[in-house]
Amino acid sequence: MKPVNTLAPSSPPLSGDRIRSVVFGLFFASGFCSLLYQVVWLRMAFAHFGIVTPVLSVVIAVFMLGLGVGSLLAGRWGASLGAHLGWSPAAVYGMTELLIGVGALAVPALLGEGETLLLAIGAASSAGYLALSALAITLSILPWCVLMGATLPLMMIFVRARWPQDTQSFSFLYLANLLGAVTGTLASACVLIEIFGFRNTSLIAAIVNWLIAAVSFWLSRADKPLPGPASLATLAPARPARPLGVSPNLVLFTTGFTSLAMEVIWTRDFTVILRTTIYAFAAILATYLLGTALGAAMYRRRLRQGTMPHESWLLLSAAFAACLPVLLDDPRLPASPVGVLFSITPFCAILGFLTPKLIDLASGGDPARAARGYAVNILGSILGPLFAGYVLVTRFDVRVCLLILAVPLLGLGAQAVLRSQGKVALRHIALAGCAGALLFGFFVSRSYEGGMFDRWPHQVRRDYAATAIAFGGAGRAKGLMVNGVGMTALTPITKIMAHLPLALHGHAKDGLVICFGMGTTLRAMASWGIETTAVDLSRSVIDSFGFFHADAASVIASPKVHLIADDGRRFLARSGQSYDVIVIDPPPPVEAAGSSLLYSREMYDVLKQRLRAGGLLLQWFPGKNNVTEAAVVRTLMQAFPYVVAYRSIENYGVNYLASMQPVPEITVAPFVARLPEKARQDLLEWGPQPTAEGMAALILGRRLSVADIVPDPRQGPIISDDRPFNEYFLVRNMVAHWAGASPRKPAGSP
């Protein structure tokens, strides 16, 4: 079959400006798809392997690894491949985009297979599981990321053949790709996933990839004939870069390392202000990309003007800007989401200026040289998030993590200053200012992770999943913060989560608590003398138990109590153990990123398999959002034929009980009679009634009609892994606001 690009053009040759516009549009769309895939695949990886920092780090690192490998391979062999096939560079690029679209169909299945194969490995906190889950993620998404990485040098080959004297094609394509990436990040998080779900959003990206391929094939036929790919190396000799005073490759590696490592730490650090919703991560990622795009645009503008700052100024500025999140996001200063995002923008913009500048200078438009420089930058981008996720955040306060990452930039800036000429005094003053900012950050600034709690006794623990801070004074005046978000308090609400289902069941022999919190529900369940297991994603949260309860050591010492650090859903799938009572108390807020995995249809399918005949599931819901609560209850009712509800004793939230058999109704006397003595003492410990009979009457008298909340469980949205209704709410909230809707709150909502 004759290759498409060897056919004679069917229309007059396109003008140069029009071709540039088409190329810019293609690479904009390619960037759109790439970041859309990153957002979707990251969320899928969380669902399959746990919502932990290492998974975030691995997904980012594998994306960057694929970009680096693909860039090197295409830069070295892209032109010869086109020559061998008899295709134009545009046609080779189009075929690459076509294959990327196939990944949209393959990755969900590959991630699912990886999860199944790793169920027997052990807890999610084990080193073996973390390593093998990283391998599974890598094998699932790396091939498609390699193809994404190949697109830039392949398009550079086309540009170089079309415009031999263009020595800044890298920055031209880099800017287009970044702008598309910003759009893809915001579109996926704010619109597409909410409306279409993860799989259909991924399919939309695949369709865009295939449209890019179609346009590229058309471009390969519509453009005027070009020199053969084999002769591209002679078209535009690379312009040698002037001496920088520092190694360009060292700068590219360091900036890649620090920027992606900081992105991981920003995600963890900013949750106290941006909250834990999916929009917080999207805002950080979009700000990072937009800032980088602004820097690249400024570089293109300064390039046209012929005025370019010296690299020493850029490196010193980057070192100072890296300290800004530490200096500006101090808990003693006024805080706002806009301020937090602004604090990272200068750093991103400076690197967006510096990266294409160095690669343009080093490559002179040569795709192979540009690919090598870009690969060095990407190598740093691979190692940075891994170092941040597996080493830094498990050992240091986020403030210290960010300052550690700023040190190499300061070192490079100092080296460039010492070897530069002209205005040396000013540069030395700037160097001293950067060093001062770093020292100020180390010794004066504070972070939300630890700086908010100096006036209280507190304990800080860190692990791969979270930073847990237990704080407070005497009695019940205590709190738990996980990654900057308040989790719970010492309240009888969490006691009743155990006592209510156990009393209704009447003869439970064992129980499971998913989400440990302060350990109050575990402690209450253990007071019944049954086999009690508690699972939490973070070992640090479990180890904080003793801060909140003086008898924690004796509770843990019981041979009937088992504490496990694992993803709750994964534990259910891999353990094979069945229970009489299971309690789920998902972390707040209801809209928290990843929380739908504990409310979803798929979660309830696993739970049904782990409840014995007559077993009871208690699902806690805060009862704040009528639409979301209805979706949660609807999902629960579609999974279980019998669902009842009890409003909390403090009018905050609802206990939903579900079973495959009718949920028993009992009166006060049987409830009290079923309480073992230790359970009776636990129930009365914090009141608010002084007698067991009074507490039982208070609890049982708050039964609700589920039909008032969801009249017809078959009508309306439910929550699934693919459609996390509670997490994505921006579009429906905007529609409701514009329509002036004020729907009735369900029973149990405050």
Write the pLDDT tens digit of every residue in 94-107: 999 999 999 999 99
Segment 383-406 shows an average pLDDT of 88
Q: How would you classify the pairing of strands 467-472 and 478-482?
A: antiparallel
pLDDT at 12: 47
pLDDT of 16 reads: 64
State the Cα–Cα distance between residues 548 and 475, nearest whole angstrom: 9
Most confident of the ranges 33-47, 259-273, 455-469? 33-47
Nearest to 526 by CA among 678, 657, 656: 678
Helices (H), 118-247: 127-162, 169-187, 193-222
Contact 202, 108 (CB under 8 A): yes
In the CATH scheme, what is the code of domain 490-739? 3.40.50.150
Report residue 481's pLDDT band, with 50, 70 and 90 as the boundaries.
Answer: confident
End-to-end CA distance of the chain: 70
- Which run of H or E residues covers position 724? none
Could you give the CA distance from residue 30 to residue 191 in angstroms, rounded to a whole number?
19
Residue 235, pLDDT score = 45
> Of 495, 565, 555, 490, which is closest to residue 529 (Cα–Cα)?
555
The pTM is what?
0.82
296 contact partners, CB below 8 Å, separation of at least 6: 171, 174, 175, 178, 352, 353, 355, 356
Of 10-14, 207-211, 402-406, 495-499, minimum mean pLDDT range: 10-14
Specify the residue for token string 């192979």: 368
Measured CA distances, 201 to 108, 125, 186, 208, 410 (Å): 12, 31, 13, 11, 41
Six token digits for residue 392: 């830094």
**Banded pLDDT at 238 (limits 50, 70, 90):** very low
Distance CA 45, CA 52 (A): 10
Reference 362, options 217, 246, 495, 510; nearest CA is 246
pLDDT for 746 equals: 40
Which residues are registered as beta bridge partners of 643?
A: 658
pLDDT above 90 (res 71) = no
Could you tell me the two tokens for 490?
């010492």
Give me the residue label for tokens 């491949």. 81
Lowest mean pLDDT among 150-164, 221-235, 668-682, 695-709: 221-235
Q: Check if 14-231 and 245-452 are the same fold.
A: yes
Q: Please give the average per-residue pLDDT across 143-162, as a whole number.
A: 88
Q: In what order do the strands lie in the sheet containing 531-536?
A: 561-565, 531-536, 510-514, 579-584, 611-621, 654-659, 642-647, 703-704
The domain segmentation of the chain, as residue ranges, is 14-231, 245-452, 490-739
Per the CB < 8 A criterion, the answer to whether 368 and 410 are in contact is: no
What does 206-218 look like in DSSP terms, one character per residue? HHHHHHHHHHHHH
Question: Which position has the token pair 């800036």?
Answer: 413
Q: What is the mean pLDDT of the chain?
A: 85
Ranking 354-363, 456-465, 512-521 by mean pLDDT, the lowest is: 456-465
Q: How far apart are CA 402 and CA 431, in angstroms?
A: 18
Residue 341 has, within 13 A of its CA and on its CB side, a CA count of 18
Could you tell me which CATH class the domain 245-452 is placed in? Answer: mainly alpha
Identify the pLDDT of residue 450: 60
CB-based burial of residue 442 (10 Å sphere; 0-12 exposed, 13-18 middle, 19+ buried)? middle
Residue 633 confidence (pLDDT): 93
- Token pair belonging to 127: 């080193």
Q: Which fold has domain 14-231?
A: Growth Hormone; Chain: A; (1.20.1250)
CA angle 525, 531, 533 (to 5 degrees): 70
DSSP bridge pairs for 647: 654
Q: Cβ distance 183 to 27 under 8 Å?
A: no
Q: Is the pLDDT of residue 131 over 60?
A: yes
- Distance (Å, whole) CA 395 – CA 289: 28
3-class secondary structure, 328:
helix
- Distance CA(342)–CA(336), nearest Å, equals 10
Q: What is the pLDDT of residue 423?
A: 60
Continuous segment of H or E residues that includes residue 642? strand 642-647
pLDDT at 421 over 90: no
What's the mean pLDDT in 623-636?
85
Print burial letters for 655-667: b (CB count within 10 Å at least 16), e (below 16): bbbbbbeebeeee
- Cα–Cα distance measured from residue 326 to residue 520, given in angstroms and rounded to the nearest whole number: 35
